[in-house]
Amino acid sequence: MSWSDSLSRRLAERRGTSLWRNRQAHQGSDGRLLFTSDGQYLNFSSNDYLGLSQHPQIIAAWQQGAEQYGVGSGGSGHVTGYTTAHHVLEQQLAEWLGYSHALLFISGYAANQGVIAALMEKEDRIIADRLSHASLMEAAMHSPSQLRRFLHNDLDSLKHHLAKTCVGKTLVVTEGIFSMDGDCAPLEAIAQQTRSSKSWLMVDDAHGIGIHGHEGRGSCWSQNVKPEILIVTFGKAFGLSGAAVLCDEQTAEYLLQYSRHLIYSTSMPPAQAVALSEAVRQIRAGESLRQSLQNNIRYFRREAQHLSFALMDSETAIQPLIIGNNERCLALSHQLRQRKVWVKAILPPTVPPDSARLRITLTASHTRQDIDVLLGALHGSDC
Ligand SMILES: Cc1ncc(COP(=O)(O)O)c(C=O)c1O
């Protein structure tokens, strides 16, 4: 079969189904608004939870970083791509989060791939929460180790898997806050089980860092847990992009020697590292932003009780409404858009079958009136 025939067959299988994905270029967005050629929308699909993507001091820091270092790093960290800006940011992150070492990656996806690929060997096993993010699952599936999935947030299921013998090392993997459900992992109990079986714990706190815990130190800090591997990403509350792995000295050295994502990939621009350092400062001092976000979450949940949609058990910025049927979910998202409210429909396989949802995200930048508009649009929908 020719390349073209093979690709057309696969495209034809998907075209016309609700799984067909579309991108739409827009002219800018922040934690509150999204600007398109059709006008301005209230944005309830952004992970810019604290609205920092538009913060003037972070923008100024990026500009100043670009003046000082130029716009790119020029190589991987092992060649020319590790500057004092990267070094300062790593030290700042390690100190803030209580680890001896932090290593920067260009994205959360790359960090999860880079860490799991480097750490896991053939005789090892990964025991992951079954709702873990695609970047974790894909890394685990591609690694030579065994992959076992425990039922979502289910301690008995985790215990059952841990009780089985494994000749190699075991890595338990979970998220601090689940990206599609918005619920929190019972990290303290997971850490206890993991420790008593002499395994390691890896927590991806993409959605908790900056939001939870003292000075925004995240889900692990707020549950008094220090996993051996903590992943924090900068595309959500930080308002930028990139990620870091927090770990001890030996693990950091190991990753520097063995993680191909660190060795064979251009590091993030130093100007971005300068901006991220400023974002860390803003997050640590950002109690009032966190408070505004919490107030918005509380307000939305209280007022949404009156809707005909069931709320999920989430106290976080992620407030999904499960619709179930793909077509109905898409139609609802479309209706909201006609009312100038932007909420993306999230469909399987990103979420389990029959659980298509409107993934509503709240941010510190939304006002009560914005939330009222969202609630009114949901109330007025006829799906
Ligand atoms: C839990 C989780 N981990 C990792 C990632 C990937 O992070 P990044 O967007 O920085 O690649 C995401 C992105 O949505 C996520 O939700």
Classified as helix, coil or strand, 41 is strand
Tens of pLDDT, residue by residue over 185-228, are 999 999 999 999 999 999 999 999 999 999 999 999 999 999 99
Give CA–CA dist 48/31, Å, rounded.
Answer: 5
pTM to 2 decimal places: 0.96
CATH code for the structural domain at 27-53+286-380: 3.90.1150.10
pLDDT of residue 383: 58
CA of 245 to the centre of ligand 1 (A): 13
Q: Is 309 exposed, middle or buried (0-12, 13-18, 19+ CB in 10 A)?
A: middle
Ligand 1 pocket member 109 (CB < 6 A): yes
Active site residue 46: no
What residues are designated binding site for pyridoxal 5'-phosphate?
A: 108-109, 179, 207, 233
pLDDT given for residue 18 in this prediction: 74
Write down the pLDDT at residue 306.
Answer: 87
Q: Where are the domains of the chain?
A: 27-53+286-380, 73-268
The Å distance, Cα 235 to ligand 1 centre, comes to 8
Cβ(350) – ligand 1 distance below 6 Å: no
Closest C-alpha to ligand 1, atom 5? 108
Q: Cα dist. 255→22, 95, 136, 200 in Å?
A: 36, 19, 17, 15
pLDDT at 382 (0 to 100)? 64
Q: How far is the CA of 6 from the centre of ligand 1 (A)?
A: 30
Q: Where are the beta strands (DSSP E) in the chain?
A: 28-29, 33-36, 39-43, 101-105, 125-129, 146-150, 170-175, 200-204, 229-233, 243-247, 318-324, 341-342, 345-346, 356-361
Q: What are phi and psi of 155, to 5 degrees?
A: -70, -35
Q: Which atom of ligand 1 is nearest to the CA of 243?
A: 10
| Residue 187 Cα to ligand 1 middle (Å) | 19
For residue 97, the model assigns a pLDDT of 98
Q: How far apart are CA 159 and CA 161, in angstroms?
A: 5
Feature table: binding site for substrate: 21, 133, 350
Which is the catalytic residue, given 46, 53, 179, 333?
179
Residue 142 annotated to the active site? no
- pLDDT of the residue at 17: 82
pLDDT, one tens digit for every residue, the chain (383 residues):
999 999 999 999 999 887 788 888 999 998 899 999 989 999 999 999 999 999 999 999 999 999 999 999 999 999 999 999 999 999 999 999 999 999 999 999 999 999 999 999 999 999 999 999 999 999 999 999 999 999 999 999 999 999 999 999 999 999 999 999 999 999 999 999 999 999 999 999 999 999 999 999 999 999 999 999 999 999 999 999 999 999 999 999 999 999 999 999 999 999 999 999 999 999 999 999 999 999 999 999 999 998 888 889 999 999 999 999 999 999 999 999 999 999 999 999 889 999 999 999 999 999 999 999 999 999 987 65
Is-same-fold flag (27-53+286-380; 73-268)? no
47 catalytic per annotation: yes
Task: Reply yes or no on whether 204 is catalytic.
Answer: yes
Distance 380 CA to ligand 1 centre (A): 33
Exposed (0-12), middle (13-18) or buried (19+): which is 164, by Cβ within 10 Å?
A: exposed
- Residue among 30, 204, 228, 370 flagged as catalytic: 204
| Residue to mutate (ligand 1; options 113, 179, 361; most atoms within 8 A of CB) | 179
- Residue 145 catalytic? no
Four-way CATH pick for 73-268: 3.30.565.10, 3.40.640.10, 3.40.50.1820, 3.40.50.10420: 3.40.640.10
Which one of 86, 101, 207, 261 is the catalytic residue?
Answer: 207
pLDDT value at residue 179: 95
Whether 113 is in the pocket of ligand 1, judged by its Cβ within 6 Å, is no
pLDDT (tens digit per residue) in 125-167? 999 999 999 999 999 999 999 999 999 999 999 999 999 999 9
Q: Decide: 173 and 86 in contact? Cβ < 8 Å.
A: no
